[in-house]
Amino acid sequence: MEAFLDRSRKAVRKQKLIRWFGVGAAAVVVVLGVIASLLFHENSLERQQVAALKELNDRSAKDLEARKRNIKEQEDRIAGLNAREGSTKDERDRIAKEKADAEARLKQYQDETQKQQAAQARQSTDIVASVKTLQNRLDAEIQKRKDAESRLAQLEAKGPSGVAGGGVAAAPVPPRIVTFDAEPASIERDNSATLRWSVQNANAISIDHGLGAVAANGNIRVFPGDTTTYTLTAKGLGGAQSHTVTVRVNAPPDDPRRPEGPVAARGSSKPQPANVQTRVNPKDGLSYVWIPPGKFIMGCSPGDKQCVPNEKPPHEVTITRGFWLGQTEVTQGAYARFAVTGRKRAPISPDLPAGDLRWDDARQYCEWAGMRLPTEAEWEYAARAGTTGPRYGDLDAIAWYNVNGTVNFHPPRGKEPNPWGLYDMLGNMREWVADWYDERYYDRSVPRDPAGPARGAVRVLRGSSVYEIPAQLRASYRGWDKPNVAFPTYGCRCAGDLR
Q: What are the sequence ranges of the domains in the chain?
A: 2-158, 176-253, 278-496
Confidence class of residue 299 from pLDDT cuts 50, 70 and 90? very high
- 189: closest CA among 226, 134, 215? 226
What's this model's pTM, rounded to 2 decimal places? 0.49
For the chain, count helices (H), then strands (E). Answer: 6, 18
Q: Give the CATH number of domain 176-253.
A: 2.60.40.10
Verify cis geometry, omega within 30 degrees of 0, for the bond prior to 350.
Answer: no
Higher pLDDT, 43 or 105: 105
Higher pLDDT, 97 or 156: 97
Q: Could you say which DSSP state residue 25 is in?
A: H
Confidence class of residue 464 from pLDDT cuts 50, 70 and 90? very high
- The set of residues, in sequence order, having a beta carbon less than 8 Å from that of 338 and lying 6+ positions away, is 284, 344, 364, 365, 368, 369
pLDDT given for residue 433 in this prediction? 97
pLDDT given for residue 206 in this prediction? 87
Reduced to 3 states (helix: H, G, I; strand: E, B; else coil), residue 193 is: strand
Domain 278-496 in the same topology as domain 2-158: no
Q: Is the pLDDT of residue 317 over 70?
A: yes
Q: Is the pLDDT of residue 346 over 80?
A: no
Q: Does domain 2-158 have CATH number 1.10.287.620?
A: yes
Segment 362-380 shows an average pLDDT of 96
Confidence class of residue 224 from pLDDT cuts 50, 70 and 90? low
The highest-confidence range among 67-71, 73-77, 117-121, 381-385, by mean pLDDT, is 381-385
In sequence order, the β-bridge partners of residue 235 are: 204, 240
In sequence order, the β-bridge partners of residue 244 are: 231
DSSP 457-487: SSEEEES--TTS-GGG-STT-EEEE-TT---
pLDDT given for residue 386 in this prediction? 94
Please tell me the class of the 278-496 domain.
alpha beta
The highest-confidence range among 80-84, 150-154, 177-181, 343-347, by mean pLDDT, is 177-181
DSSP 432-455: EEEEEP-TTGGGT--SBS----S-
CA angle, 172 as apex, 166 and 175 as ends, to 5°?
170
Half-sphere exposure of 31 (CA within 13 A, CB side): 18
3-state DSSP helix/strand/coil percent for the chain, to nearest 5? 40, 20, 40
Condensed to tens digits (0 to 9), the pLDDT of residues 100-145 reads 877 877 777 777 777 767 766 676 676 666 666 766 766 776 677 6
